[in-house]
A and B are shown apart, each in its own frame.
Chain A
């Protein structure tokens, strides 16, 4: 079965936890696991547990990353941070165990592509080992940690949109302090706004993963982030949570923050706040803003272009398989020019073709452009690292590998490449943020 990750959807602990009774302890559940004994590792403020021996690969870096993230979040969440209690992070070896401990149906995981949860103040993630393309596991744990801290401030009064909005606002800490939407997200937002089908604030109070379609769920996350960004500018998102706790009401806190009554805030949410959001005008955003309704001429054109590009990409692959790397590169270039948005694998294929036909400089350019558009493309980082390694720029290579590691630590060959470099340069191991 193909594992489909619809989007990075995360349940809100605030709502979910209420539905369940006490959850089974990690160590208890995996007491007699066939994977082996439960292993743990601790830092000053976190304790990570895992059971699959391979997951030990990410434990050390996860702790270091989380300590760095905590440090950068301190200015925002100091009131929620305990010096004595360590936040537990649990790595689940597979979807089945994740589903059984969290008491959420497997079908929900499958349908929503859920990979992380915060329940009972436990940060639970699915091991990136389970996903062929990996996922931003460190960033995901920071997202969950934001949920954790919100609940540390208050377990009540906080609606789902605020939980998810705030978690998204801070999830890229400590690497990026400003949350940004991806072109595909902007495109979706623009399309729905144009079609007057944005979600109302009331709708955003319902659990996101239960939206009718994955697209709607994604839209809920987008709108939540945009709204929280708007509120953050007004009074500070964390302050809003603290105020809600103090006033024992989110409505009152929102009124105090925005200077508008909750009712008027609710009524002006779409027509004023969402409509005033400035959407970037780049071509990829326009591409994603296409209507997927077949009567839309843009969509039709897009599909036609996609087919031409797909054909050219197929020809490029055929040429590559026959060892005609130069021609393969030329053909893939044509494919990329024929479409606005291409899968990152095509660009990696182009890079590989160029590299194999001895065009190192062009390879680097292609990879750099690819990483600009897809900064989390682990395979591209890995290729970049290999390229740097060829040029004997070992530090640059290690940094590229580290980027890949934060996305797909189990990428074939990555572990050994990093291992060889850190054996040669032990100081490299100390680098946390590439």
Chain B
């Protein structure tokens, strides 16, 4: 039983200790908070005084030290309270708090006595003591109570916590207010340090006007014992203060106003202007003649270098530049270097050696200490042959596609006998790129324009539906010609490849025969050469096959097989390599068999391609060039006929002369029969001559039509050519007339003159065609085998500042003017700045 009482009292003793600890914590918080706040106040106000301010460094450690000492003292003072509880103390508190002892006052102190007995060891305990303990143990249920904390315990804790809360919320919140009292003060000068690492302080005077990010400072004014302050209010922010030691300093970020003073008074407010740090500027110029064109877009043709100028500046200073060449999203550094000035200018020879055709960009990247910027690109459309051809092909393809739609419109118009609604608008919206070049394509474009005009005039405006089949046919012809032009642009010469392959195949065939007959050795150089030749021909042919317009493609196929075949696409070359290996390994019979099989395969391949090539050659032949050739052939034919007629006239002239001589000799009029015969012959020849004249007129008219409107009209139909043709017609007409008058001799003269003129026209036609062909080949450039006159050209397509060309020109002229040496630098900088704006 006694142990039950002991346990009970022990638990209550712990409660008492807990309450004591709470109270102690409360005291600690309270004293800590109050003392900390006192020190804070002390620190806050110490700043007013110059001497006290010097303690500012030790204030934080001072505060911690003092607060710790106070807390230590409190703890030391409270240690007795914390550890003073024992069983008797607990019993005493129970007697105070239990209702039992309130009603049975006579028992007060009895429980405390029992607790005192319990403190003794049982062995030394007297019987009555034991009995006393037993009694109070038994009564435990009657007086049982759990000791409650006292108001003081909880109160101190709450006050302590609240103090801590109050101090922590107040700490750091205190601000110095701009003093209200204003005293006269003005700044005589200040120093500025620009925002880069190695910048030095530079002395300045006047209003505070500095680059954003820079630091400023000025000598602090002396206010006796009072500390000097620099008050600044940035745009949109509150007033802040900075203690001035030797200097008042500030890092300028934004526009602000400022004042100086102590905590009791201040100067008037002055403005502080922050100039934003501008990114450096960079411009690239192309030198075109004497003029520098900024950020230009240029098309360069057959030129290997370009004069450019790099220009950059910064409001503070430049650090470095990099000149980049960007092509197909990859950058290459052309030049780079450090710069240590505000302005930078450099002439640069841009080399375009080994450039691929396409869009190239040159970019100047410049850095100041904080920012990097890049110039607008100098765009160079570098037109190598490949690029120009690609461009022509693209333009041509787009044009042909537009005309395919027109063909569709015409076909549907023909089907419905009603103008297809979109046709008029489509014809009007037809656009012809200027980049079509000259020569064949230009002539083609002219042809299309003429056809478009014809469709508009004859079909849409006049509504002559009967013309539709002819217009469709013409449109079809033009599209096919366009496709053949595309093919020729892509693949070059149409015919030579199949012929070349055929020849190589045949010569290899002959070699195989010789091998079979034992006249040639399989490992001979001839065989190797034949292989090489064949390989190059196959390569050429494969390129052409790839570009050949294929007609309807069979797309409903087994794709798995196609994919596998694709991986075998190099099979012909591989097979040749296999055969060469067999030869090397001495498998002669096998090699010959493989060779024969290869020959068959090549035969099939070349026949297959030949057929398609033929077709596209024929479509190509529909063009204007061919009209000239046709005209020349017709001239030749007419000339031959005229020669034949002249021969006939000659013999008729002789016959007539003979008959006349005979008649004169015989002193008789010409025999009637002979005369009739002569008349008839003259009539026949005259008729033939007249027909020939008509024929000649027709072919010139038809040739006129064929080349009408094309670029070559002036070449083929020059005034000289037309004069010659008129003279031919005149001579033929004269000959007919004279033949009708039976003046054979005179007629013969006219006929021979006509023959001579026809020869001249013929040869002129040949020359003109050669001239045009040369020109067109220069344009075509495809196939790689043609000679080509190199024509260097830079064409300015666009410039960022082209609108201000005049203004820039003036600036450039000013820039070139020389001024006194000492002003030359600033003179140039001034105008360069202008140029960049």
Contact A3 B558 (CB under 8 A): no
Report the Cα distance A311→B478, complex, angstroms: 12
Interface string of A344-377 (1 = CB under 8 A from B): 0110110000000000000000000000000000
When C-beta atoms are compared, the residue in chain B nearest to A353 turns out to be B552
Cβ–Cβ < 8 Å partners of B412 in chain A: 326-327, 330
Report the Cα distance A72→B654, complex, angstroms: 92
A23: Cβ under 8 A from any B Cβ? no
Contact A307 B405 (CB under 8 A): no
Report the Cα distance A38→B609, complex, angstroms: 41
A54: Cβ under 8 A from any B Cβ? yes
Among B408, B604, B611, find the residue whose CB has the most chain A CB atoms closer than 10 A.
B408
Shortest Cβ gap from B324 to chain A (Å): 40
Contact B601 A131 (CB under 8 A): no
- Stretch of B568-576, B784-792, B797-805 that contacts chain A: B568-576
Contact A111 B600 (CB under 8 A): yes
Instruction: List B residues 466-483 near A (Cβ within 8 Å).
Output: 476, 479-480, 483
Given contacts A1-B571, A316-B552, A412-B556, contact A105 B411 (CB under 8 A): no
Contact B604 A317 (CB under 8 A): no
Interface string of B162-186 (1 = CB under 8 A from A): 0000000000000000000000000
Contact B551 A313 (CB under 8 A): yes
Cβ–Cβ < 8 Å partners of B605 in chain A: 2
Cβ–Cβ < 8 Å partners of A321 in chain B: 404
Contact A129 B560 (CB under 8 A): yes
B618: Cβ under 8 A from any A Cβ? yes
Report the Cα distance A130→B618, complex, angstroms: 36
Give which listed residue, A133, A311, A408, contacts B615 with CB less than 8 A: A311
Shortest Cβ gap from A6 to chain B (Å): 8
Contact A319 B407 (CB under 8 A): yes
Q: How many residues of B contact A (CB 8 A)?
A: 51
Given contacts A133-B558, A327-B407, contact A307 B615 (CB under 8 A): yes
Instruction: List B residues 548-575 near A (Cβ within 8 Å).
Output: 549-554, 556-562, 564-565, 568-572, 575
Contact B404 A319 (CB under 8 A): yes
Cβ–Cβ < 8 Å partners of A343 in chain B: 552, 554
Contact A315 B480 (CB under 8 A): yes
Instruction: List B residues 595-614 near A (Cβ within 8 Å).
Output: 596-598, 600-601, 604-605, 611-612, 614
Cβ–Cβ < 8 Å partners of B598 in chain A: 107
Interface string of B468-502 (1 = CB under 8 A from A): 00000000100110010000000000000000000
B581: Cβ under 8 A from any A Cβ? no
A287: Cβ under 8 A from any B Cβ? no
Given contacts A111-B597, A324-B404, contact A314 B551 (CB under 8 A): yes
Cβ–Cβ < 8 Å partners of A4 in chain B: 601, 604
Contact B597 A110 (CB under 8 A): yes
A187: Cβ under 8 A from any B Cβ? no
A71: Cβ under 8 A from any B Cβ? no
Contact A133 B557 (CB under 8 A): yes
Shortest Cβ gap from A416 to chain B (Å): 13
B386: Cβ under 8 A from any A Cβ? no
When C-beta atoms are compared, the residue in chain A nearest to B402 turns out to be A322
Cβ–Cβ < 8 Å partners of A311 in chain B: 476, 480, 615, 619
Shortest Cβ gap from A140 to chain B (Å): 16
When C-beta atoms are compared, the residue in chain A nearest to B558 turns out to be A410
Contact B565 A412 (CB under 8 A): no
A266: Cβ under 8 A from any B Cβ? no
Shortest Cβ gap from B67 to chain A (Å): 83
Contact B411 A331 (CB under 8 A): yes
Given contacts A1-B571, A1-B572, contact A315 B476 (CB under 8 A): yes
B676: Cβ under 8 A from any A Cβ? no
Contact A1 B558 (CB under 8 A): no
Give which listed residue, B409, B601, B615, contacts A111 with CB less than 8 A: B601
B278: Cβ under 8 A from any A Cβ? no
Contact B553 A345 (CB under 8 A): yes
Contact A315 B558 (CB under 8 A): no
B753: Cβ under 8 A from any A Cβ? no
Instruction: List B residues 406-423 near A (Cβ within 8 Å).
Output: 407-409, 411-412, 415
B720: Cβ under 8 A from any A Cβ? no
Contact B480 A314 (CB under 8 A): yes
Cβ–Cβ < 8 Å partners of B558 in chain A: 128-129, 131-134, 408, 410-412
When C-beta atoms are compared, the residue in chain B nearest to A346 turns out to be B552
B594: Cβ under 8 A from any A Cβ? yes
Report the Cα distance A306→B612, complex, angstroms: 10
Contact A349 B552 (CB under 8 A): yes
B671: Cβ under 8 A from any A Cβ? no
Contact A105 B590 (CB under 8 A): yes
Instruction: List A residues 296-333 near B (Cβ within 8 Å).
Output: 306-307, 310-322, 324, 326-328, 330-332
Report the Cα distance A132→B565, complex, angstroms: 9
B593: Cβ under 8 A from any A Cβ? yes
B401: Cβ under 8 A from any A Cβ? yes
A382: Cβ under 8 A from any B Cβ? yes
Cβ–Cβ < 8 Å partners of A110 in chain B: 597, 601
Contact B556 A383 (CB under 8 A): yes
When C-beta atoms are compared, the residue in chain A nearest to B605 turns out to be A2
A108: Cβ under 8 A from any B Cβ? yes
When C-beta atoms are compared, the residue in chain B nearest to A304 turns out to be B618
Report the Cα distance A306→B408, complex, angstroms: 22
Interface string of A119-146 (1 = CB under 8 A from B): 0000000001111111000000000000
Report the Cα distance A331→B407, complex, angstroms: 10
Report the Cα distance A258→B322, complex, angstroms: 97
Report the Cα distance A50→B479, complex, angstroms: 50
A160: Cβ under 8 A from any B Cβ? no
Contact B405 A348 (CB under 8 A): no
Instruction: List B residues 614-659 near A (Cβ within 8 Å).
Output: 614-615, 618-619
A379: Cβ under 8 A from any B Cβ? yes
Contact B551 A132 (CB under 8 A): no
Contact B554 A345 (CB under 8 A): yes
Give which listed residue, B401, B559, B570, B618, contacts A307 with CB less than 8 A: B618
Shortest Cβ gap from A341 to chain B (Å): 14
Contact B405 A310 (CB under 8 A): no
Contact A315 B479 (CB under 8 A): yes
Report the Cα distance A331→B410, complex, angstroms: 11
Given contacts A54-B560, A132-B558, A307-B618, contact A317 B552 (CB under 8 A): yes
Shortest Cβ gap from B751 to chain A (Å): 38
Contact B597 A324 (CB under 8 A): no
Report the Cα distance A345→B551, complex, angstroms: 10
Cβ–Cβ < 8 Å partners of A319 in chain B: 404, 407-408, 411
Report the Cα distance A315→B561, complex, angstroms: 28
Interface string of A25-54 (1 = CB under 8 A from B): 000000000000000000000000000001
Report the Cα distance A4→B601, complex, angstroms: 8
Cβ–Cβ < 8 Å partners of B618 in chain A: 307
Report the Cα distance A318→B615, complex, angstroms: 16
Interface positions of A (Cβ within 8 A of B): 1-4, 54, 94, 105, 107-108, 110-111, 128-134, 214, 306-307, 310-322, 324, 326-328, 330-332, 343, 345-346, 348-349, 378-379, 382-383, 408, 410-412
A sample of 28 inter-chain contacts (CB < 8 A) reads A1-B568, A1-B570, A1-B571, A3-B561, A4-B604, A54-B560, A105-B590, A107-B596, A111-B600, A111-B601, A128-B558, A131-B558, A132-B558, A132-B561, A132-B562, A133-B557, A310-B551, A310-B615, A313-B552, A315-B476, A318-B483, A322-B405, A324-B408, A326-B411, A332-B552, A348-B556, A378-B556, A408-B558
Further 18 A-B residue pairs, CB within 8 A, beyond A133-B558, A311-B615, A322-B401: A1-B572, A4-B604, A110-B597, A111-B597, A111-B601, A129-B558, A132-B561, A214-B600, A314-B551, A315-B476, A317-B552, A317-B553, A318-B404, A327-B407, A343-B552, A383-B556, A410-B560, A411-B557
8 closest Cβ pairs, A-B complex:
A1-B571, A379-B556, A107-B597, A324-B408, A327-B408, A349-B552, A410-B558, A345-B554
Interface positions of B (Cβ within 8 A of A): 400-401, 404-405, 407-409, 411-412, 415, 476, 479-480, 483, 549-554, 556-562, 564-565, 568-572, 575, 590, 593-594, 596-598, 600-601, 604-605, 611-612, 614-615, 618-619
